[in-house]
C-alpha cells in the first residue's frame, strides 16, 4: 500500500480514539517523531486495527497473536512520521495495582529495518524506587527532568515504571502523566504540553536512545498523519 493510502487509513481511525500522544526519540544525531492513538477496551476497533496492520505488512501470526492478547484490554498504535515504523499495543492488568514483573504493556512492532519484534513491558514499581531512579537518571538527556519529577511528585501520584529486556531491547519507561508536569522541563520547545512518559535504554536497531512523550489532541494527531510538512513543533500547535 502506498504511503498516501496508509496515511488515509490511519487518519480514518483517529476520530474514534480516546487518547493521543506525540513522542520524540533521540538516538545519536537522529530525532524520530511519532504519534500514538489509543482506545479504551470498550471502544477498541480491534478488527480494523488488525486489518491495518496486515496492510502494513505485519506477519499474520503476529497480528493474530495481538488480536488474542488484546481482547478486553486497552489498545493503540504508534507510527513514525515517515511511515517506516508501525506498532500495535495492548495495555492493561488484572488488578488495581500490577504485580511485580507483570506485563502491563506489549508492543508488536514493525521496525524500520524490516524486522519485527514483540516487546513486553514488565512492571517494576515506581520511578521513585531507588533502583528505578538510578536506572532512569543514567540518561543524560532526561536526567534533569527525572530528578525534578522524583522530587516534586506528590506521594499519592503513581509514577509507574516498566522495563523491557530481550535481545532487541534493554530499556525502561516511566509513566508520569498523572503528575501533570509541563514537558518544558525536558526541552523548552515542549513548553505548554503535558508530559506523559519518559524512556531510555539501548535498542538493537537504533542504539542508545532517550524518548519523551506528551499528551496530544485529535487535531494534533491528525496534523501529524497528514501529508502537510511537519518540520517543527510549531506544526502541531
* Under 8 Å between Cβ of 87 and 72: no
With a CB cutoff of 8 Å and minimum separation 6, the contacts of 92 are 41, 72, 73, 74, 104
What pLDDT does residue 236 have?
53
Query: What is the total count of domains within the chain?
Result: 1
What pLDDT does residue 211 have?
97
- Is 235's pLDDT higher than 50? no
17-50 residues labelled b (16+ CB within 10 A) or e (exposed): bebbbbbbbbbeeeebbbbbbbbebeebebeebb
* Under 8 Å between Cβ of 110 and 86: yes
* 93-123: pLDDT as tens digits: 766 778 888 999 999 988 767 778 899 999 9
Determine if residue 37 is left, alpha or beta; phi over 0 gives left, psi from -120 to 50 gives alpha, anything else beta: beta
* 31-61: pLDDT as tens digits: 999 999 999 999 999 999 999 999 888 899 9
Residue 179 buriedness (CB in 10 A; 0-12 / 13-18 / 19+): middle
Q: Which domain holds residue 122?
A: 3-92+100-236
Q: What is the C-alpha to C-alpha distance for residues 34 and 225, in angstroms, rounded to an integer?
A: 9
Instruction: Decide: helix, strand or coil at residue 237.
Output: coil
Model confidence at 203, pLDDT cuts 50, 70, 90, reads confident
- The secondary structure element, H or E, covering residue 51 is helix 46-56
* 155-169: pLDDT as tens digits: 999 999 999 998 888
- The secondary structure element, H or E, covering residue 26 is strand 19-27
Amino acid at each position: 500500500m502506498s504511503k498516501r493510502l496508509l496515511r488515509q487509513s490511519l487518519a480514518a481511525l483517529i476520530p474514534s480514539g480516546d487518547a493521543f500522544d506525540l513522542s520524540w526519540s533521540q538516538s545519536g544525531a537522529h530525532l524520530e517523531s511519532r504519534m500514538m492513538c489509543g482506545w479504551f477496551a470498550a471502544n477498541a476497533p480491534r478488527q480494523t486495527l488488525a486489518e491495518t496492520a496486515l496492510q502494513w505488512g505485519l506477519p499474520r501470526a503476529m497480528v493474530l497473536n495481538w488480536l488474542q492478547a488484546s481482547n478486553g484490554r486497552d489498545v493503540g498504535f504508534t507510527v513514525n512520521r515517515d511511515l517506516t515504523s508501525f506498532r500495535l499495543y495492548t495495555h492493561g492488568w488484572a488488578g488495581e495495582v500490577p504485580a511485580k514483573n507483570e506485563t502491563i504493556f506489549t508492543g508488536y512492532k514493525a521496525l524500520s529495518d524490516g524486522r519485527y519484534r514483540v516487546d513486553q513491558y514488565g512492571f517494576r514499581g515506581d520511578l521513585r524506587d531507588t533502583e528505578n531512579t538510578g536506572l532512569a537518571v543514567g540518561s543524560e538527556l532526561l536526567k534533569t527532568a527525572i530528578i525534578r519529577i522524583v522530587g516534586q511528585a506528590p506521594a499519592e501520584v503513581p509514577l509507574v515504571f516498566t522495563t523491557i529486556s530481550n535481545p532487541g531491547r534493554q530499556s525502561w519507561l516511566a509513566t508520569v502523566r498523572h503528575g501533570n508536569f509541563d514537558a518544558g522541563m525536558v526541552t523548552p520547545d515542549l513548553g505548554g504540553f503535558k508530559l506523559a512518559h519518559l524512556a531510555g535504554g539501548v535498542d538493537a536497531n537504533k542504539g542508545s536512545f532517550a524518548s519523551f512523550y506528551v499528551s496530544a489532541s485529535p487535531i494534533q494527531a491528525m496534523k501529524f498523519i497528514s501529508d502537510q510538512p511537519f518540520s517543527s513543533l510549531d506544526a502541531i500547535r
